[in-house]
Homo-oligomer: A and B are copies of this chain.
Amino acid sequence: MKIKKEENFSEWYDEVLQEAELVDIRYNVKGFIVYRPNIMRIINQLYRLYEGELDRAGHSPFLFPVVIPLSYFRRESEHVEGFEDEVFWVTRAGKHELEDPLILRPTSETAIYPMYSLWIRNYRDLPLKYYQSGSVYRYETKATRPLLRGREFLWIETHTVYPTIEDATEQVKEDMKIAQKVLYEECGLPFLMMDRPEWDRFAGAKKTFGFDTLLPDGRALQVGTTHLLGDNFSKVFDIQFEDKDGTKKFVQQTCYGPGISRIAASVICIHGDDFGLVLPFDMAPVQVVIVPVLFKGEEKLVMQKCEEIRKMLEGAGIRVKLDDRDSSAGAKFYYWELMGAPIRIEIGPKEVQERNATLFRRDKRTREICEEKKLIDAISKVAKDVLNFLRRKAEDHMNKNTTEVATKEELLGSSKKGGFLKMNFCGLKECADEIKSQAGGFEVKGTLFGSENKPKGKCAWCGKRATQVVYVAKSY
């Protein structure tokens, strides 16, 4: 790595994507990238974490076609308006023009809900908690950036159905808990749970909550959303159920979209440093790498010991790799720091003789000597500590870059250094639009869900009576 993250975050990001062989941007279609094995393993791990939490919460996996017939897609008018300019159209098959053109799913409500209308008959069929994992397609007109904004991106979408709006509201809260578990607890990524203003809701939703994390350059990144759809879609797609009392009612729905590509990007950007990737232990494809430090004449003993330790760690369920390639220990140190292996174990003749191992932790870049027999305990301890360290560091960054502003001048001043700006706000779209155009693209991201923030006095921007406390940020 040549570029310092602090000095030029954008170039640092490009460099780490290339040097750690994460993605290749040379595929010949704008906004479509190649996911190389090093990122794919991280992404698969993220899918496993997220799907595991969804399964435990009673969700089931399913899969709908990638193409949506125009006739389905056009049924929810608000939804169409929100997406029609950004869909890819399949108009031909073989030598035939299609009579009913198809779109590549930008999201799957209009694919799934006609089927829900067939599947759901009465209250015994509810709740439905289903999710699908995979790619969606949006013809983004904004500048694309690998993993952050692409025309093909990886996510999970859940689609739940309940008899009452109260049940659906509970589901939205469960979605938030799962986001907290995966993003914060397992990936060490702090974020704000934003109740989006009405003009920034998902097309067709009654409520939209966005999960915004903060990248090192001070811009916010939405890493997931959950939407209370209520009966907006069920009325359009005629999804009714017969309740216990015999009456027909429209179902209440939610959908939830954790952005897997963006979570991966956040891990890279927020935890990474000038030496490359830094990965939480549970998420790392290689959790522990063993590097032999060889001296002439003692190679065999050292390699034997390395192999012994490798087996021991593998037996303990650790994803371990013994790097026995024909290159220098120094080159291997460099490589595995770049790749973000959380722990490196160095074994040389001294370690063999003293029945020790040198344990290097990637996050703090510190070494300690550890008795061989205590190695597994030491690794588990470090594993937990890595996550705590990364999370704390990320939280510090977010706290330091969250500024309360009380006036237009303060907002304009603070907007130059980026981050979240917290302010009293009038609640009007016109005011938000003015902020966006005058403060370099800063947007009202919403109010903090579940917070006790009470507005005081006047809107920091327009001076009218404040009705809410909002967070404002420039987004990716």
Are B32 and A67 interface neighbours, CB within 8 A? Answer: yes
- Whether, in the assembled complex, A94 has its beta carbon less than 8 Å from a beta carbon of chain B, the answer is yes
Are B40 and A63 interface neighbours, CB within 8 A? Answer: yes
Are A93 and B102 interface neighbours, CB within 8 A? Answer: no
- Whether, in the assembled complex, A88 has its beta carbon less than 8 Å from a beta carbon of chain B, the answer is yes
- CB 8 Å contact bits of A28-49 with B (1 = contact, 0 = none): 1100111111001101100000
- Whether, in the assembled complex, A385 has its beta carbon less than 8 Å from a beta carbon of chain B, the answer is no
Q: Of residues A26, A33, A62, which shows the largest number of chain B Cβ atoms within 10 Å of its Cβ?
A: A62
Q: How far is the CA of A130 from the CA of B34 in the complex (A)?
A: 13
Q: Which residues of B contact A43 (CB under 8 A)?
A: 63
Are B37 and A69 interface neighbours, CB within 8 A? Answer: no
Are A32 and B89 interface neighbours, CB within 8 A? Answer: no
- Whether, in the assembled complex, A92 has its beta carbon less than 8 Å from a beta carbon of chain B, the answer is yes
Distance (whole angstroms) from the CB of A345 to the closest CB of chain B:
22
Are A139 and B62 interface neighbours, CB within 8 A? Answer: no
Closest residue of chain B to A67, judged by CB?
A: B29
Q: How far is the CA of A40 from the CA of B65 in the complex (A)?
A: 13
Are A34 and B66 interface neighbours, CB within 8 A? Answer: no
Distance (whole angstroms) from the CB of A399 to the closest CB of chain B:
36
Are B115 and A24 interface neighbours, CB within 8 A? Answer: yes
State how many residues of chain A have any CB contact under 8 Å with chain B: 53
Distance (whole angstroms) from the CB of A142 to the closest CB of chain B:
13
Q: Which residues of B contact A69 (CB under 8 A)?
A: 28-29
Are B27 and A115 interface neighbours, CB within 8 A? Answer: yes
Give chain A's interface secondary structure class.
mixed
- Whether, in the assembled complex, A404 has its beta carbon less than 8 Å from a beta carbon of chain B, the answer is no
Closest residue of chain B to A285, judged by CB?
A: B60
- Whether, in the assembled complex, A95 has its beta carbon less than 8 Å from a beta carbon of chain B, the answer is yes
Q: A37-B130, A67-B32 are in contact. Are A91 and B91 (CB under 8 A)?
A: yes
Closest residue of chain B to A327, judged by CB?
A: B124
Distance (whole angstroms) from the CB of A445 to the closest CB of chain B:
26
Q: A29-B65, A34-B63 are in contact. Are A91 and B92 (CB under 8 A)?
A: yes
Are B34 and A62 interface neighbours, CB within 8 A? Answer: yes
Are B60 and A40 interface neighbours, CB within 8 A? Answer: yes
Are A152 and B32 interface neighbours, CB within 8 A? Answer: no
Are B65 and A37 interface neighbours, CB within 8 A? Answer: no
Are B26 and A93 interface neighbours, CB within 8 A? Answer: no
Q: How far is the CA of A89 from the CA of B134 in the complex (A)?
A: 20
Q: How far is the CA of A139 from the CA of B98 in the complex (A)?
A: 11
Q: Which residues of B contact A44 (CB under 8 A)?
A: 61
Closest residue of chain B to A35, judged by CB?
A: B63
Closest residue of chain B to A134, judged by CB?
A: B134
Q: A89-B93, A92-B91 are in contact. Are A66 and B26 (CB under 8 A)?
A: no
Q: A24-B115, A115-B27 are in contact. Are A62 and B35 (CB under 8 A)?
A: yes
Distance (whole angstroms) from the CB of A235 to the closest CB of chain B:
20
- Other CB < 8 Å A-B pairs besides A29-B102, A32-B67, A93-B139, 11 of them? A29-B65, A29-B67, A33-B65, A34-B62, A35-B62, A40-B62, A63-B154, A67-B152, A85-B94, A89-B92, A91-B92
**What are 16 of the A-B contact pairs (CB < 8 Å)?**
A28-B69, A28-B114, A29-B67, A32-B65, A35-B62, A36-B62, A37-B60, A40-B62, A44-B61, A65-B152, A66-B104, A85-B95, A87-B94, A89-B92, A91-B91, A91-B92
